Structure 1
Amino acid sequence: MKGITLPAIFVSIFLPAMGVQAQFPGDGTKSRQENANRPTLEGFAEVPWEATYAQVREKFLSLATNPDSGEKVEIVNEDKERSLLIRRNGIFYVYRFYSTPKLVLDSRPKQKQPQTNPPPANEEEDHSDPGKLFSVGISFRYLPGKDVQGKLENKYGKPKKETLDEKKIGGAVLWELTNEKEVPPKGGFVVQWKEAFKKQPFTRRVDYFSSKLKFQIEKEYKEFFSAEEIKTLRDLIP
């Protein structure tokens, strides 16, 4: 199946963080002082949400092989149509992609199409749309949580929500950077993860998500659990 499957999405978000350079790189967007209004998150750095796996991969291959780019870029690991792990100037980024699971597609009503020759078996078994970028995660060495949060607040303003664990040290901080006038909302959100290190809140990972694809994933997640039953009924009742 192309694209990341629904149950695996939420597991992949918690990929182990990797130690890298000391400076938190951010997402390449301008700070609040450089923006007249609160920004919306239209993608990560120069890559827009819903860019395909092939487009993002080609972009980093071009950077990696261009002697004039002035950047050190390496594709460390790739899972076709699902994820790309990139080392860029010493920082690790995981680009995550999503496409509707085949099981969900098969459970939906079929539109009548002119009869054509059936595709080869390998294509018929795996006919989902190409994976689309829905999330980017940055991993770096432990940094004081308040310092990372300060840099994010400088870009995005005060967070919408913050949760803490029982020890009041670990938890997560959420910035919602969307245009709520649109349905599904346009933009995205940022999650800073905090964890206890030397009895203090430290951060070593920040994740960025597309609001539109989050909306789609949540909708299709509900479909996923009833898809097999729906498909069976459609097979039984023409």
Structure 2
Amino acid sequence: MRLKNKPWALPLIEANPQYVVTEPAKLRGKWDERFTTKQPLLIEIGMGKGRFITEMARRDPKHNYVGIEVQTTATGIALKKQLELKLPNLQLVSGDGNDLTEMFAPAEVAGIFLNFSDPWPKKRHAKRRLTYQTFLKQYQQVMQKDGTLEFKTDNRGLFEYSLTSMNNYGMVFDQVWLDLHDSPEAVDNVMTEYEEKFSQKGQPIFKLAAHFTS
């Protein structure tokens, strides 16, 4: 969902380069330099307003986190959260995450989160879905061999498509949840803004965790 442009967002981003990266390609293979501690790197593609990635970084200081978001206003909102918390293990990227191989070197990433990605429901737009084979190839290139891809959505059609796409690509499913919030996983689940909204309406949340075989 596209947010209404907020004129304060871009100046705020430009004033805080210590937390927001606007030229991520320059850090390819050197992301450790952005953090105080060298430790495994987890990324979220399409972080939205940053609730998920911020809370994950707060709960889990033993990993470094990068949230990527193309919408300037959403990045600005996420930055406000980080300015309040000042988490040393969190960096934000204001930019398009469509080509991760330009941002990250091979095996630089320990895990990837895809949360409530645009479903692109029309068949002719299938190549834009973040679980399409060309995106999976990118994830495989930048992720370590033991890395995990986690995907959450409220859209059953996209979830079924993603299961098929990943299976056809040769990925192995570690676990699949057809109603995440009615499962033991719900106890430690970190919600996004959209997830909370949808679940309050009684919408089941689908989730999978998978890895590449090579």
> Do these two structures clear the TM 0.5 threshold for a shared fold by scoring above it?
no
Greater share of helix = 2
Q: Please report the TM-score for the alignment, with normalisation by the length of structure 1.
A: 0.25
Q: Please report the TM-score for the alignment, with normalisation by the length of structure 2.
A: 0.27
Greater share of strand = 1
With CA pairs under 8 Å and 6+ residues apart, which has the higher RCO, 1 or 2?
1
